[in-house]
Amino acid sequence: MDRFDSSPETALAWHRKGIGAALATVVQTWGSAPRRVGSQLVIGGDGRIEGSVSGGCVEGAVIVEAIEAIEEGEARLLEFGVSDEDAFAVGLACGGTIRVLVEPVGKVLSEQMLAELVDIRAGRDAVTYEVNITTGKRRLVRDGYSERMRMDRSGFEEDGETFVAVHNPPLRLIVVGAVHIAQALVPMARIAGYDPVIVDPREAFASDQRFPGEQILHDWPDEAVAKLGLDPRTALVLLTHDPKLDDPALQAALAADVFYIGALGSTRTHAKRVERMQAAGFTSEQIECIHGPIGLDIGAAGPSEIAVAVLAQMTAVLRGKA
């Protein structure tokens, strides 16, 4: 899915208010489709909408179909061809074809199942929503489709009937050390779909003036990560060069299941870091999870280029690239 959206939450809220709601999901694309598979549009029984399935090309037709589907209490599988002219209007060079599954909340997608999905998402747990478009069978799968989950890739299975929608928690980046690199990395990460948090007890560094509009914690790093929680959708980046600040957060991350740990410093600095982690009782396998010196070797010079290298390495690790 795209950067975390609230389509299921919105659909549940509208349904419970008595407005009526349907979830429209892009289930398949060919050519240069405006939106990726898994993108969603919520349609209320009164015509209100939130989200997008095509960037504006076919929303009008989907809304009409969805309102009728809500009234009839039946799912609909729609197919649209996006013309070159319409595609150009939403910033694409050429058109394509999309299939959209419309599911009214209640008779088709049960309130109970949707509420369970919303609760799982609120708890930052990963889950997939599985629907067989032939039989209409629907279920939530907590442990499965590991490759789809890792790649954030919704789509049909090989049978051509089972559609799997991936619902991963939002990506989160915890940055320990409100230094110059952090000033470049945080806005880049936000653009890339992360929810960043800056952790630094030094208020002169971690200030609203240096990081306008960002979440800042002035706790000691071990207290901060305990408060935030660490999970497989979290990346931890250590930028202070100070073991008193970096090491407590590092040890918490090594004991958790974060997908990325990166630590700033030279090869010599990292060697000392490894020695400290060995002395703290961590295994070689755990310590090898630390990316240090941090970032892909792109010859980066200056904070902004180092931030690019770090974000690129985070992405490579997330997507399973060596």
- Please state whether the peptide bond connecting residue 170 to the residue before it is cis, i.e. omega within 30 degrees of 0: no
Pairing relation of β-strands 234-238 and 171-176?
parallel
Q: Are 46 and 19 in contact (CB under 8 A)?
A: yes
Token duo for residue 12: 């549940």
Look at residues 26, 10, 6 and name the one whose alpha carbon lies nearest to residue 167.
Answer: 6
Q: Are residues 229 and 175 in the same domain?
A: yes
Does a structural domain hold residue 2? no
Q: Are residues 104 and 201 in the same domain?
A: no
Phi-psi region of 55 (alpha: psi -120 to 50; beta: other; left: phi over 0): left
b/e burial code for range 27-37 (CB count within 10 A of at least 16 → b): bbbeeebbbeb
Look at residues 165, 182, 164 and name the one whose alpha carbon lies nearest to residue 173.
Answer: 182
Residue where a domain terminates, one of 124, 150, 167: 167
Q: Are residues 161 and 175 in the same domain?
A: no
**Which pLDDT does position 1 carry in this prediction?**
42
Q: What are phi and psi of 123, to 5 degrees?
A: -85, 10
**Which pLDDT does position 236 carry in this prediction?**
98
**Which pLDDT does position 95 carry in this prediction?**
59
Q: Are residues 100 and 228 in the same domain?
A: no
Which residues neighbour 219 within 8 Å (Cβ) at sequence distance 6 or greater? 199, 201, 227
Residue where a domain terminates, one of 142, 167, 192: 167
Q: Are residues 64 and 123 in the same domain?
A: yes
Distance spanning both ends of the chain, measured CA to CA: 23
**Which residues share a beta bridge with 163?**
131, 156
Q: Are residues 154 and 187 in the same domain?
A: no
Q: How big is the CA angle at 199 (ends 194 and 201), to the nearest 5 degrees?
A: 165
- H or E segment to which residue 208 belongs: none
Q: Are residues 285 and 178 in the same domain?
A: yes
**Which pLDDT does position 34 carry in this prediction?**
67
> What is the Cα–Cα distance from 70 to 102, expressed in whole angstroms?
9
Alpha-carbon distances of 146 from 141, 152, 166, rounded to whole Å: 11, 10, 10
Read off the pLDDT of residues 244-284 as tens digits, 9 standing for 90 and up.
999 999 999 999 989 999 999 999 999 999 999 999 999 99
**Which pLDDT does position 234 carry in this prediction?**
95
Look at residues 190, 151, 134 and name the one whose alpha carbon lies nearest to residue 37.
Answer: 151
Q: How big is the CA angle at 23 (ends 150 and 21), to the nearest 5 degrees?
A: 145
> What is the Cα–Cα distance from 258 to 27, expressed in whole angstroms?
30
Q: Tell me how many domains the chain contains.
A: 2
Look at residues 194, 199, 260 and name the one whose alpha carbon lies nearest to residue 232.
Answer: 260
Which residues neighbour 163 within 8 Å (Cβ) at sequence distance 6 or greater? 25, 27, 101, 130, 131, 132, 133, 154, 155, 156, 157
> What is the Cα–Cα distance from 182 to 222, expressed in whole angstroms?
19
Token duo for residue 192: 């890339």
Q: Looking at residue 208, which CATH number applies to its domain?
A: 3.40.50.720
Q: Are residues 125 and 103 in the same domain?
A: yes
Does a structural domain hold residue 78? yes
What's the length of the chain?
322
Show the domain range for 51: 7-167
Q: Are residues 161 and 303 in the same domain?
A: no
Q: Which residues of the chain have pLDDT under 70?
A: 1-4, 32-34, 55, 82-95, 322
Does a structural domain hold residue 223? yes
Q: Are residues 178 and 158 in the same domain?
A: no
Evaluate the CA torsion angle 121, 196, 223, 280 in order and state its sign: positive
> What is the Cα–Cα distance from 213 to 209, expressed in whole angstroms?
9
**Which pLDDT does position 54 carry in this prediction?**
80
Q: Are residues 105 and 189 in the same domain?
A: no
Token duo for residue 190: 């936000």
Residue where a domain terminates, one of 102, 132, 167: 167
Q: Are residues 113 and 259 in the same domain?
A: no
**Which pLDDT does position 305 carry in this prediction?**
97
Alpha-carbon distances of 135 from 17, 124, 163, rounded to whole Å: 29, 30, 12
**Which pLDDT does position 82 carry in this prediction?**
66
Read off the pLDDT of residues 152-192 as tens digits, 9 standing for 90 and up.
899 999 999 999 999 998 899 999 999 999 999 999 999 99
Other Cβ atoms closer than 10 A to 86? 18
